[in-house]
Amino acid sequence: MYKFIFRPVLFLFPPEATHHLVVFILKLSFWIPGKSAVLRLFYCVKDERLKRKLFGLTFENPVGLAAGFDKDAKFFDEMANLGFGFIEVGTVTPKPQPGNNKPRLFRLTEDEALINRMGFNNDGVEAMVERLKRRKNFKVIIGGNIGKNKTTPNENALADYEYCFEKLYSYVDYFCVNVSSPNTPGLRELQEKEPLKKLLSRLKQLNIQKGNPKPILLKIAPDLTNKQLDDIIDIVRETKIDGVVATNTTVSRSGLQSSDIRLRSIGSGGLSGKPLAKRSTEVIKYLHEKSNGSFPIIASGGIHSAEDAIEKLHAGASLVQLYTGISYEGPSLISQINKAILK
Ligand SMILES: Cc1cc2nc3c(=O)[nH]c(=O)nc-3n(C[C@H](O)[C@H](O)[C@H](O)COP(=O)(O)O)c2cc1C
């Protein structure tokens, strides 16, 4: 129904407007009594065999919502009724920031992909905390994806991550450290061995000082070389963080159906969706095999069907996250994946 009725209408609007429209309708519809129960009945797949225990957390099922969809933790409670086992909010930065100029989100319909250069538009971590304080659903795991402000130079980036970590600590179940967005100038340089080790060691140190440490994950780019992936494995081992989210969006434009003219008119940004699937799976497989499966991996990148999700799990991922697939396939993708995993 989504693909043949809703999607053609939604795709008439520019993608960022569609996102806000969908979220507005979703939020509004929750004023209808019983709406969440109906949605849960329709979308949630409940089965003990779907439960996953990872980093000391119990996930009701292995399908999550990737970062960037609910950047400000404005509708995670509503999204929870669609059957997700976990939802990652953010990327959030210490101070609010508007992000890049619009338009900054583009659809490549022929490729079933998106290009975005949102640039961490968000209301800031304090606003996020206020919303998370009103969290209603504690069954769905909430991850906090943290980043740095655009105006913060890389030399001071650590302070931004520390600030978000401290503020969010009591309100999220795990952290995801984002150093892999292509849309904040210089951010990806933090993926280099020394700055990354310093950053993760410091967060780990802060975490240990807490009574009840939270799992810390690192989100990496799909554009890293094998040598850089080897460094990531070393860093995960040395800093003893809990796992990796692989992958963020790519800066590559290879193998796309969309015309060069269209791609040139869009310009820079991170590509997500179907064309990312292959590379993202390669990264997962490489990390899993080279590390002898010594840390959990959350798969993100181009999951548009149950088969795509299962491929990621076979490559070595323990959980999967969706973003672009939801916009092309609709929310039934979540239950389709869970049902396929049960089979
Ligand atoms: C519009 C948009 C905004 C995004 N914003 C973020 C973000 O703020 N932080 C982040 O870590 N990833 C962000 N991502 C990346 C997604 O979380 C995901 O890793 C990526 O899109 C690959 O998955 P997909 O192919 O299923 O979309 C964003 C993706 C899109 C399309």
Q: Is 268 a catalytic residue?
A: no
Count, residues in the chain: 343
Residues 135-194 pLDDT 10s:
998 889 999 999 999 999 999 999 999 999 999 999 999 999 999 889 888 888 887 889
247: preceding bond cis by omega (within 30 degrees)? yes
d(CA 120, CA 160): 13
**Cβ neighbours around 125 below 10 Å, total:** 27
CA distance 133 to 148: 22
Cβ of 66 less than 6 Å from ligand 1: yes
- Asked if 87 and 110 touch (Cβ cutoff 8 Å), the reply is no
Tokens (6 digits) for 88: 């990652």
pLDDT of residue 280: 98
- Which atom of ligand 1 is closest in space to residue 300's alpha carbon? 23
pLDDT for 181: 86
Catalytic member of 29, 170, 180, 181: 181
| pLDDT value at residue 322 | 98
- For ligand 1, the distance from its centroid to the CA atom of residue 271, given in whole angstroms, is 9
Q: Break the chain down into helix, strand, coil percent, rounded to 5.
A: 45, 15, 40
Residue 233 has a pLDDT of 97
Nearest CA to ligand 1 atom 3: 68
Residue nearest ligand 1's atom 10 by CA: 67
Q: Distances in Å between the alpha carbon of 125 and those of 73, 122, 130, 217? A: 10, 8, 9, 18
324 lines ligand 1 (CB under 6 A): yes
Q: So what's the pLDDT on residue 28?
A: 85
Which ligand 1 atom is the nearest neighbour of the CA of 277?
A: 25
Distance 47 CA to ligand 1 centre (A): 28
26 C-alpha to ligand 1 centroid (Å) = 20
Mutate to test the pocket of ligand 1, among 120, 121, 187, 249 (most ligand atoms within 8 A of CB): 249
pLDDT number for residue 40: 87
Atom 14 of ligand 1: nearest residue by CA position: 68
Q: What is the pLDDT of residues 305-333, one digit of tens each?
A: 999 999 999 999 999 999 999 999 999 99
Q: What is the pLDDT of residues 17-57, one digit of tens each?
A: 999 999 998 888 888 888 888 888 888 899 999 999 999 99
Q: Is there an atom of ligand 1 within 6 Å of 118 CB?
A: yes
* DSSP code for 97: B
Closest CA to 46 of 116, 171, 140, 129: 140
Instruction: Check residues 38 and 107 and name the one with the higher pLDDT.
Output: 107
Instruction: Using the CB atoms, write b or e for 219-242: b if 16+ within 10 Å.
Output: bbbbbbeeeebbbbbebbeebebb
Residue 217, phi then psi, degrees to nearest 5? -115, 160
What angle (nearest 5°) sits at the alpha carbon of residue 69, between those of residues 64 and 73?
90
DSSP string for 262-278: HHHHH-S-EEEEGGGHH
Cα 125 from Cα 165, distance rounded (Å)? 9
Asked if residue 114 has pLDDT above 90, the reply is yes
Kindly give the distance from the C-alpha atom of residue 66 to the centroid of ligand 1, in angstroms, as a whole number.
Answer: 6
296 Cβ closer than 6 Å to some ligand 1 atom: no
12 band by pLDDT with thresholds 50, 70 and 90: very high
pLDDT score, position 185:
84
CB distance 338 to ligand 1 below 6 Å: no
What confidence tens digit (pLDDT) does each residue in 241-287 have?
A: 999 999 999 999 999 999 999 999 999 999 999 999 999 999 999 99
- Report residue 123 CA to chain centroid gap: 18
**Ligand 1 binding pocket includes 300 (Cβ within 6 Å):** yes
